[in-house]
């Protein structure tokens, strides 16, 4: 469809942290830095790991916990170094079919929520079953990139 796509993702490992009781913007900031320290060597092997995209954030309806995640690079998928920060963990996400809506610009929590609502409305109108109680935000660009930015919202297909 022109306003969204359906992607099939393979099972994969992500390094994640959960930030509780903060605003989404502050949770993203805190979560990013915890994960950034992990890839800079705050792990059992004291290994530097390449930064990957997207950076995702799990948004659950009516919940103030935000799970921020980095994709583990392909060369570390089999055995990612274990985090030494007790707030950081390796997560195995199952293979999934995901409805994706892309948009440009600088994404605020409000913009992500707005795009997620648009995607949810489209999916409901087309009779596409999806998990409505949560969605992921996905950011692909450094804060220093000013133009041609790429952001997404993801709903998991039922």
Inter-residue contact 5 to 100 (CB < 8 Å):
yes
The residues pairing with 157 across neighbouring beta strands, listed in sequence order, are 130
Using CA atoms, how far apart are residues 57 and 6, in angstroms rounded to an integer? Answer: 19
Dihedral, 15, 33, 31, 89 alpha carbons, nearest 10: 30
Q: Is the pLDDT of residue 10 over 90?
A: yes
Inter-residue contact 101 to 6 (CB < 8 Å):
no
- Reported confidence tier of residue 99, pLDDT bands at 50, 70, 90: very high
* 138 contact partners, CB below 8 Å, separation of at least 6: 54, 55, 56, 100, 151, 152, 153, 154
pTM listed for this prediction: 0.96
Look up the domain containing 53 and give its range.
Answer: 5-156
Number of domains in the chain: 1
β strands within 24-133, DSSP E: 55-60, 65-71, 88-93, 96-103
- Reported confidence tier of residue 1, pLDDT bands at 50, 70, 90: confident
Inter-residue contact 112 to 152 (CB < 8 Å):
no
Inter-residue contact 109 to 66 (CB < 8 Å):
no
pLDDT of 130: 98
pLDDT of 2: 85
Overall size of the chain counted in residues: 158
Q: Is the pLDDT of residue 9 over 90?
A: yes
76-87: average pLDDT: 98
Query: Which CATH number do you get for residue 97?
Result: 3.20.80.10
């Amino acid at each position: 469809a022109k306003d969204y796509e359906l992607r099939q993702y393979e099972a994969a490992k992500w390094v994640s942290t959960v930030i509780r009781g903060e605003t989404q913007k502050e949770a993203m900031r805190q979560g990013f830095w915890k994960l950034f320290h992990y890839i800079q060597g705050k792990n059992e092997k004291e290994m530097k790991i390449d930064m990957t995209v997207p950076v995702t954030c799990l948004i659950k309806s009516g919940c103030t916990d935000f799970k921020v995640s980095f994709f583990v690079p392909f060369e570390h998928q089999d055995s990612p170094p274990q985090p030494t920060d007790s707030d950081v963990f390796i997560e195995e996400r199952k293979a999934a079919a995901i409805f994706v809506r892309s948009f440009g610009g600088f994404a605020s929590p409000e913009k992500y929520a707005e795009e997620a609502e648009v995607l949810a409305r489209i999916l409901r109108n087309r009779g596409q079953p999806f998990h409505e109680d949560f969605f992921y935000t996905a950011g692909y660009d450094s804060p220093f990139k000013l133009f041609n930015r790429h952001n997404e919202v993801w709903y998991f297909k039922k």
